[in-house]
Amino acid sequence: MDIPSNTDANAKGSTGDSFRIAGSAAVTAAVAYVALRRALVYVLMPDITKASPQQVKILRAAATEKTGKILCMVHCAITSFGGYKIVEECAHDILNASSTRISTYGGISTAYMFCDLLSMFINYREGIVVAGGGGLKHALKEGMFRQPAQARTFLVQLAGFWHSQWLYIVHHIVLAVVFIPVGLFLSRGHYVAGKIMLCEVSNLVRLLRWFVLHTPAVNNKFLDIGSGVALTLSWFVTRIWVFPAMYVAFAKQQQRDGVELPFWESVGKLRWYCHAGNAAILAPQLYWFWLIGKGWMREFGKSKTA
């Protein structure tokens, strides 16, 4: 198969281009967020003029949550497609091949990470304002704030947001500040970057499941279990199995190149920071997969009780 010229090992993704794309993507996402959020308020309640102030707050909170998830789905679809194309282009040389696509998708993903954090915080804050100490899914947890007035203080909201979502926050910031810039700066190893971008397939499945479970007209036991199975399988394949699969692919490439070494010796040729980076990305995926497993255990427990 002929390899496109833009995947040559000497091709370099422009960090400057990526930053410009990130800025454009952030502005586009912000405009889309505001417009979609306003539209969803009227979709959820067309005659909003008859709603009470409390109902309006609840509608805005619901619209905020749905808006964030819809934009996240758009990002997942774009990133998954980009990851597939990058993997396809760079499969001939796992360690050294590069793709000019990485600057485009890296910029989009960088913008998304920060926009998603902002969306999550707005969603958390809306829940506090609505409930004043109870609230929606992302509102106060475990009675952390006793008084409604205290919960409305901005710094206290930030502290509460960190307390309830710290792993997501660390995950987003580390990817945007460390891993994506490193991938752009090195201008190589984009096969691995593409594989990691394909992790967003499982996120897309997760968000589709959320909409199924939160839409009474389509939600039923069959879709609940089916979407749960799809989430479990997609999470395992794209976020856990992908790492040993990349090591196997690297060992096979060594054999094709005439380097006859046992698997562990082939893998041992990789630099330590390759293993450290993979382990750092894999660790939270294992934790979230464990949470998925706990969800299945609760589901089976309910079935036995029933």
Contact yes or no for 106/13 (Cβ under 8 A): yes
pLDDT at 42: 67
Cα atoms in the 13 Å half-sphere on the side-chain side of 83 = 19
pLDDT at position 148 is: 43
* Residue type at 74 in one-letter notation: V
pLDDT of residue 204: 93
pLDDT in tens, 64-105: 778 888 888 988 999 999 999 999 998 888 888 888 888 888
Cβ 281 vs Cβ 261: under 8 Å: no
The model's pTM is: 0.76
Interhelix angle 15-44/101-131, rounded to 10 degrees, is 40
Q: Convert the pLDDT of each residue in 201-228 to its tens digit.
A: 999 999 998 888 877 766 677 888 888 8
Does residue 107 carry a pLDDT above 90? no
Lowest mean pLDDT among 39-48, 150-159, 287-296: 39-48
Task: Please give the pLDDT value at position 151.
Answer: 54
CA angle 129, 134, 137 (to 5 degrees): 85
DSSP letters, 263-283, are HHHHHHTS-HHHHHHHHHHHH
pLDDT digits (tens, 9 = 90+) for 252-276: 887 777 767 777 777 777 888 888 8
Residue 123 CB partners (closer than 8 Å, separation 6+): 61, 64, 65, 68, 138
For residues 161 and 177, give the distance between their C-alpha atoms in angstroms, rounded to a whole number: 20
Structure tokens at 126: 């809306």
